[in-house]
Structure 1
Amino acid sequence: MTRLFKQFIFVALLLPISLASLAQIKVGSKAPNFTLSDQNSIQHQLSDYEGSWVILYFYPKDDTPGCTTQACDFRDAVKRIIASKSNVFGVSLDSVESHKRFADKNNLPFSLLSDESGEVSEAYDSLNNFMSFKSAKRNTFIIDPDGKVAKIYLSVKPSTHSQMVLNDLNQLQN
């Protein structure tokens, strides 16, 4: 291969990443609506939660070490999240069945939403798409009662994230 051709291939591979970053979701923008099924095959639409706060966290894969840590961190904080009149949802590209096993195994008292197509993850700029491998990025969004993005967290640390969310949620609500 010629050097010019190799450079073309490299740029062509980066182009989708560059184009995706142009459409980034921003604080203050309307949160993209969605309809997704949870681990109990119950459908949830973001618009059904207008009037309340929503914590929407994206994670790569059920039952992996970092994702289990993150889910259990939210599980342990869920009473404080509910006390703040907020709803928490985890989102990954895993199936409803996978979410069911993961939620049951870890006693998760909140909904895990199945985004098998990756469309919702993509709408929230939270889709890793490398060749044929797709997964959700570890991003979180706080959505206010008007359906607008109030806070964005990118590439979060799983073990301490829920406390950060709770602190920010408290500030946003006051």
Structure 2
Amino acid sequence: MALKIGDLVPDFKAKTQSGEKFEISNHIGKPLVIYFYPKDNTPGCTTQACSFRDQYQDFQDLGAEVIGVSGDTIESHDKFANKHNLPFILLSDEKRKLRSLFGVPTHFFGLIPGRVTYIIDKEGKVVSVYNSIKANAHIEHALEIVKEM
């Protein structure tokens, strides 16, 4: 079942691009922008990640943290983050457990993992779900919602 506005973000753990443990419970208390994307180093996903990178300080100035999630390996995320100087957390979801937990849909008959951004408030409640294959649109939407919080 897909997360919707008003739901609490589910409790989860994952590994970051540097192999460190990530627990969502340690990040509740500040706004979170959690974006799911299909794959490292593809044109749309690279554009999206670099756009979040370019606006990252704006999110930080608003007290928000950006977290990217895809099914790529920790090693792939590490190379992707280093290649593009990504300052935010990338979580590895190789078994698609997080996608399932959040209810992120797939596109093109289940062949391509979906692109969805969730905005979570300080209390851990979902305040926005943005589902669009347009990579660039996610950053503008997320920043607008975080500014309103």
TM tier, shorter chain? over 0.9
What is aligned with 1:13? none
- Offset of 1:86 from its aligned partner? 0.6
Q: Could you say what secondary structure the match of 2:135 adopts?
A: coil
What is aligned with 1:124? 102
Matches within 5 A, 1:25-104: 25-104=3-82
Per mean C-alpha deviation after superposition, the further-off stretch among 48-57 and 154-163 is 154-163
CA distance in 2, matches of 1:154, 1:64: 18
CA distance in 2, matches of 1:129, 1:163: 22
What is aligned with 2:93? 115
**Per-residue deviation, residues 113-149 of structure 1 (Å, max 9, x unmatched):** 0011101111111153989x76531000001111111
Q: Could you say what secondary structure the match of 1:123 adopts?
A: helix
Are the equivalent residues in 2 in contact too, given 1:128–1:135 (CA < 8 A)?
A: yes
Are the equivalent residues in 2 in contact too, given 1:92–1:135 (CA < 8 A)?
A: no
CA 1:103–1:154 in structure 2 vs 1: closer, same or farther (change >3 Å)?
A: same
Greater relative contact order structure (CA < 8 Å, 6+ sep): 2
Matches within 5 A, 1:152-167: 152-167=129-144
CA distance in 2, matches of 1:129, 1:161: 17
Q: Could you say what secondary structure the match of 2:59 adopts?
A: helix
**Per-residue deviation, residues 3-33 of structure 1 (Å, max 9, x unmatched):** xxxxxxxxxxxxxxxxxxxx22110011112
CA distance in 2, matches of 1:160, 1:91: 17
**Per-residue deviation, residues 82-125 of structure 1 (Å, max 9, x unmatched):** 00101100000000000011111111001110011101111111
CA distance in 2, matches of 1:155, 1:138: 6
CA distance in 2, matches of 1:149, 1:59: 18
CA distance in 2, matches of 1:129, 1:89: 21
CA 1:129–1:65 in structure 2 vs 1: closer, same or farther (change >3 Å)?
A: closer
RMSD: 1.8
| Counterpart residue type for residue 119 of structure 2 | I
* Structure 1 consecutive aligned stretches of length 4 or more whose deviation exceeds 2 Å: 127-131, 133-136
Q: Which has the larger radius of gyration?
A: 1
Aligned residues: 149
CA distance in 2, matches of 1:130, 1:120: 20
Where structure 1 has 5 or more consecutive residues not aligned to the other structure, the ranges are 1-22
- Offset of 1:50 from its aligned partner? 1.4
Identity %: 40
What is aligned with 2:116? 139
Where structure 2 has 5 or more consecutive residues not aligned to the other structure, the ranges are none
| Greater fraction helix | 1
